[in-house]
Structure 1
Amino acid sequence: MIKLESVYLNRDGNDIFSGLNLSVMKNEKVLIQGKSGAGKTTLFKILLGFEQVDQGVVTINGQTIDKFHIKQIRELIFYLSQDIDLRNDQVCNIIDEIFTRNRKKDLNKKKLESFMEFLELNHMLLEQNVKNLSGGERQRMGLLICFLLDRPVWLLDEPTSALDDNMKKKVVDWILDQNKTIIIVSHDDVWKNNPGVKTVRWM
């Protein structure tokens, strides 16, 4: 489903990727680990069409990531950034806007309630401003939006870093049980040595 073939990327004289090959099959879960600066987050930017490779071929569902296909490709992907990039507004307004823009997916209120309960988020949070949320609440809100949008491909950048141990295990078990194609970038031990994940180590 996701394939990078002989990908080269150089920025400011530094080789980020030099002949990178990576294949992620449909519904496969892949954990990418490596030191800082190894290009893990850059990989997500490439898959989202925000970074152009110098050489090589990158495809999702057999479609090359280019200006002709990028809109269709982005509709397949949910990206959870490490910083949980959300504008400063009430949580309910942000969720409503996401589903207003995403015309192919209506907001299911029952699923919203169910996922909030699963993520142990108080319903009063919907009336709060994003700037007043804790790091853990922001991360769980990002996961909430991911679960609700229910897209076939998830790119998760440090998705459990701000969660407590019990919530980490709960979220990881649930994510790995989904029929989704998922790439995870994480230094969190909770993902390691899990039989549901293929680990790829970048030096």
Structure 2
Amino acid sequence: MRVRWALLLAVMVAGLATVPAPVPAWACSCVERPLVEMVQDPRSTTVFTATAAGGPDHAGDADGTGYDTWELRVETVYRGQVAPTTTVSTHHQASACGMSFEPGRRYLVVPDAAATVGLCGATTGDITPEVMAVLGAGHPPNAATTAIARTPPDGGAMDGGEPGGWAVWWPTAVGAAVGMVLLVGGLWAVRRRRG
């Protein structure tokens, strides 16, 4: 009788262990911060105004995830070194805080270290006199600079990685393996006892 209970417990544990780990939800939720505070943040090492010139160039998966690259014509640089024409990347989907640029519209652009922008950042088309007063006069873009120094986004900075993949499924694989070992061990014990 004990062996049957042990076998039943092993099957139950194996069943629970094979439930996949939860996948993070892709939803954009931002902590509200005034724009003036965001552009004053010392981590905002590159700040400039630009007009959207072209895009989006989509790089990503067939399911619509990934990044869009937008070409911008830089007008005035307030922090950092930026070329007269540069590019920024953003998530393709608004649900992942991706944003789109309207060609011809002027934007205040505050990219992160990987030259990515998003709905939660300070990049905006609504440039107020208060923000411009905080930024000061600025300077023209640097023609000797080829672009914003950046690395391609790898999914780590903004969202912790793409959903799915081995990181989510390894607990399931381990649980299934442990469950199989327990099941085979239980069956072996029952057969041995009977034989």
User: What's the TM-score once normalised by structure 2's chain length?
Assistant: 0.21
User: Which is higher, the Rg of structure 1 or of structure 2?
Assistant: 2
In proportion to residue count, which structure has more strand? Answer: 1
